[in-house]
Structure 1
């Protein structure tokens, strides 16, 4: 089974990497390749692709700007904000969730988790819009806002996963052997939780990406005329049937980013599953067979 799963894992990893490569390269290197803006005029508004050396491959948008140049300039504000928001959310959710799951007392867990339930009750987009009306955040502020609204859900998933693993007999055996709580948390519990957390990270990255794009679509975090993939979809949607490239190209890049992320995390799930199985076998070898009621370890043939 392991040999059969390996090609599928590799194929998913390669496919996900290829899908992610295009939007990431455009986001990181696009501004360096965009060059100087071409002259604009009313005759170029919502135009189709043109020929020649200075060709506009995907035509012009609703104000006469080159769509390809806007695509090159508009990826960083979406990709980097979504990536930063996801990392920030887990930077808070992981220690909070593990601390709540591994504590032996009730009050620290309640102190950590109950305030997050209050924030969890507020819809994510509504919370972002409410704060944005007061503070008018830029890209950095939008990343922080999106991270904050994702912390409660992520922390609950981390806590639930770690609590289930911490209740296993293997963890009790490690405690009886005198292993420190930190080594148990970062060792067995952390490795065993990777598969579930990788699945959550893939879904969460997609959710964060679309939340960032929706916020940008509504004008939060970016200027109304900014070069941004989500803003491009919003501003050019009225001319979709006249000049579709101004909407299709940025929307397709967002979809590729989402699909590639999930495929990469699917590959990580399969690898994490095999790694967890080896970890459990190694732990059983260290702890030996389970103890009998009389206090002696069983000697099974």
Structure 2
């Protein structure tokens, strides 16, 4: 039952994000913008405060949410996994300690504060959001990978491979990378919710994407004052964001339970 619920909660927003823009062109006719129209023929969910069709916003506003979340996660792991493996493998303990302490500075930096600074200096848009969201996740990813790679259970296997003459890169990057892949996958599921929440919060507060972007969180911010006049314009995108986060959390729990049972 939990698996079905998780699949539904996460699956519906994901399907809308992937295929919604294609369906919007077929289901939503072009019409002159009239703000705050009630649901009716031609506009099943009505229009928002800017005269945009709410159904079209629901179908097209998830692409940026899912795309930015996936991109930020990819950047953080592409950078964090090799760094964590290298720090776990190095014999220069002072270098590993210094690197971790430098990364720890990012851990105490509030994520939204970084986005506020970027927005205040005019650095807004998809590129800056991706880099900022990935950067604030980097220290935690490096710590996770370094800890998993340096686990005592790996020492015997590493020593055996070293004695057999295996090259450094195969031991500490390839084989150790395979060993930590399970922990990375579970962490990625949890971190996806954190990144999703961060990006949605930034867009809602107006420090993320430009205000003319069709994004669920941006749409919520633009229609907060119209809750009683056009409730669907706020509740539909909010419900999709909540469903995506809740479904992802449930799926992560399922993966974690299976991983724990398998181990």
For the superposition of Structure 1 and Structure 2, which TM-score range results when normalised by the shorter chain?
Answer: 0.7 to 0.9
Corresponding position of 1:298: none
Name whichever of 20-29 and 144-153 sits farther off.
20-29
Q: Give yes or no for contact 2:88–2:149 (8 Å, CA) kept in 1.
A: yes
Pick the aligned partner of 1:245 from 229, 232, 241: 232
1:245 deviates by 1.5
Pick the aligned partner of 2:46 from 48, 59, 63: 59
Deviation digits for residues 262-295 of structure 1 (CA, Å, limit 9, x no counterpart):
34434443554566x5xxxxxxxxxxxxxxxxxx
Q: 2:109, 2:198 → 1: CA distance?
A: 14
1:222 deviates by 2.2
CA separation of 1:97/1:259 partners in 2, compared to 1, >3 Å: closer, same or farther?
same
Structure 1 residues 25-40: aligned runs within 5 Å: 25-35=15-25, 36-40=29-33
CA separation of 1:188/1:221 partners in 2, compared to 1, >3 Å: closer, same or farther?
same
Structure number with bigger Rg: 1
Q: 1:181, 1:24 → 2: CA distance?
A: 41
SS in 2 for 1:199: helix
Q: 2:234, 2:177 → 1: CA distance?
A: 42
Corresponding position of 2:61: 74
1:229 deviates by 0.2
Name whichever of 252-261 and 88-97 sits farther off.
252-261
SS in 1 for 2:121: helix
Q: Does 1:231 align with 2:221?
A: no
Pick the aligned partner of 1:175 from 155, 158, 162: 162
Q: 1:165, 1:68 → 2: CA distance?
A: 54
Q: 1:104, 1:231 → 2: CA distance?
A: 48
Unpaired segments ≥5 residues, structure 1: 1-7, 278-301
1:95 deviates by 0.6
What is the TM-score when the length of structure 1 is the normalising length?
0.76
1:74 deviates by 1.3
Q: 1:181, 1:48 → 2: CA distance?
A: 66
Unpaired segments ≥5 residues, structure 2: none
1:15 deviates by 5.0
SS in 2 for 1:219: coil
Q: Give yes or no for contact 1:142–1:220 (8 Å, CA) kept in 2.
A: no
Count how many residue pairs are aligned between Structure 1 and Structure 2: 260
Q: Does 1:49 align with 2:42?
A: no
Q: 1:253, 1:87 → 2: CA distance?
A: 23
Q: 1:187, 1:265 → 2: CA distance?
A: 25
Q: Give yes or no for contact 2:124–2:210 (8 Å, CA) kept in 1.
A: no
Q: 2:97, 2:86 → 1: CA distance?
A: 11
Pick the aligned partner of 2:188 from 176, 196, 201: 201
Q: 2:81, 2:152 → 1: CA distance?
A: 15
Q: 1:156, 1:122 → 2: CA distance?
A: 16
Higher RCO (CA 8 Å, separation ≥ 6 residues): 2
Q: 1:183, 1:205 → 2: CA distance?
A: 29
Name whichever of 128-137 and 29-38 sits farther off.
29-38
Q: Does 1:23 align with 2:13?
A: yes
Q: 2:215, 2:92 → 1: CA distance?
A: 48
Q: 1:169, 1:157 → 2: CA distance?
A: 21
